């Protein structure tokens, strides 16, 4: 195989973590003659120019590392290969051993690449609704939580600029992508969506109501959340990584981001296999045997 034909890889990681550094060094030896590693970067450090010259981005770490990297990678349309060195591994689909096992199939295009939607969140103040005070891209979710003093807050939710869908009095609200449906949304009793779906989930957090249930809406919808009554510590968070303290009158607008991010799926299992293995989804009861 000639050098020009070798697939080009960029490696993303937290290099200060000893185990990560050791695994990357081992992978460099494994990849010799099979691929060209053109960059090794911190999670948020690779430039767009470098990414445009890559065929794949390999992220060594956990789901949090992939979520952080995905914001840059989505702009460059570079498929992500997630190698799990974290605790759970929903987005980081490959173990180190599996990555090596399927490596040739992955770089030769024989392993499916899935396109997943992102969300764009913007925050405006009531005094100047034309000026953004915050903007960020979400891989998993956008959520508003009460924060200190941990009193119930009041939010009004509107979809596609129409009259309010509902008023929420409770601990907060989650707006999730299909990818994020198995994250905070799941813990708040929201539905699980297939990751390739084009949809959003709106899920209340501990609503003071028996009738405010999670809903699934079109990916092309625009959701607006109006902060009617909040606590001094009420915060909006993006994937649990970026955040902003909210004020009364703030307007949160969430809609689909123009770009998607690409994930290389593990061919040895489905998303449902991962749910069963990682979270015990659809386990049968532990019957006593006669």
Angle at 249 (CA atoms; ends 255, 147), nearest 5 degrees: 85
What does the pLDDT look like over 200-224, one tens digit per residue? 999 999 999 988 899 999 999 999 9
Judge whether 3-116+260-279 and 119-256 match in fold.
Answer: no
Instruction: Indicate if the pLDDT at residue 45 is higher than 90.
Output: no
What does the pLDDT look like over 227-262, one tens digit per residue? 999 999 999 999 999 999 999 999 999 999 999 999
Q: How many CA atoms lie within 13 A of 91 on its CB side?
A: 28
pLDDT at 163: 64
Question: What is the value of pTM for the model shown?
Answer: 0.91
Percentage of the residues of the chain whose pLDDT score is greater than 90: 67
pLDDT at 165: 75
- Domain borders along the chain are 3-116+260-279, 119-256
CATH topology of domain 119-256: Tumour Suppressor Smad4 (2.60.200)
Q: Taking the CB of residue 132, how many other CB atoms lie within 10 A of it?
A: 12
Whether 220 is catalytic is: no
Chain mean pLDDT for the chain: 90
63, 141, 239, 250: which is the annotated catalytic residue? 63
Kindly give the interhelix angle for 18-31 and 96-107, rounded to the nearest 10 degrees.
Answer: 40
Q: How far is CA 73 from the centre of its chain?
A: 12
Instruction: Indicate if the pLDDT at residue 52 is higher than 90.
Output: no
Q: In which band, very low, low, confident or very high, does the pLDDT at 24 lie, cut at 50, 70 and 90?
A: very high
8 A C-beta contact, residue 95 and residue 83: yes
8 A C-beta contact, residue 118 and residue 77: no
Q: Does domain 3-116+260-279 have CATH number 3.40.50.10330?
A: yes
């Amino acid at each position: 195989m000639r050098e020009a034909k070798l697939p080009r890889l960029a490696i993303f990681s937290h290099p200060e973590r000893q185990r990560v550094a050791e695994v990357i060094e081992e992978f460099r030896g494994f990849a010799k003659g099979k691929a060209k590693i053109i960059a090794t970067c911190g999670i948020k450090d690779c430039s767009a120019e470098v990414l445009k010259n890559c065929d794949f981005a390999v992220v060594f770490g956990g789901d949090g590392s992939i979520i952080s990297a995905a914001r840059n990678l989505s702009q460059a349309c570079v498929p992500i290969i997630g190698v799990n060195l974290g605790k759970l591994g929903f987005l980081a689909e490959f173990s180190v051993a599996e990555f090596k096992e399927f490596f040739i199939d992955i770089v030769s295009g024989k392993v499916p690449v899935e396109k997943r939607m992102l969300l764009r969140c913007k925050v405006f103040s009531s005094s100047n609704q034309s000026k953004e005070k915050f903007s960020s891209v979400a891989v998993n979710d956008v959520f508003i939580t009460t924060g200190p003093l941990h009193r119930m807050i009041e939010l009004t939710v509107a979809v596609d600029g129409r009259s309010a869908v509902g008023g929420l009095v409770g601990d907060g609200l989650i707006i999730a992508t299909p990818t994020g449906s198995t994250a905070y949304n799941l813990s708040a009793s929201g539905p699980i969506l297939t990751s390739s779906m084009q949809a959003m989930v709106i899920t209340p957090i501990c609503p003071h109501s028996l009738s405010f249930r999670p809903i699934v809406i079109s990916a092309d919808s625009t959701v607006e959340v109006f902060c009617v009554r909040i606590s001094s510590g009420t915060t909006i968070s993006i994937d649990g990584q970026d955040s902003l303290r909210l004020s009364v009158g703030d307007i949160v607008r969430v809609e689909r981001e123009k770009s998607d991010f690409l994930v290389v799926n593990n061919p040895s299992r489905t998303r449902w296999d991962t749910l069963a293995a990682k979270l015990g989804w659809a386990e049968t009861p532990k019957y006593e045997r006669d």
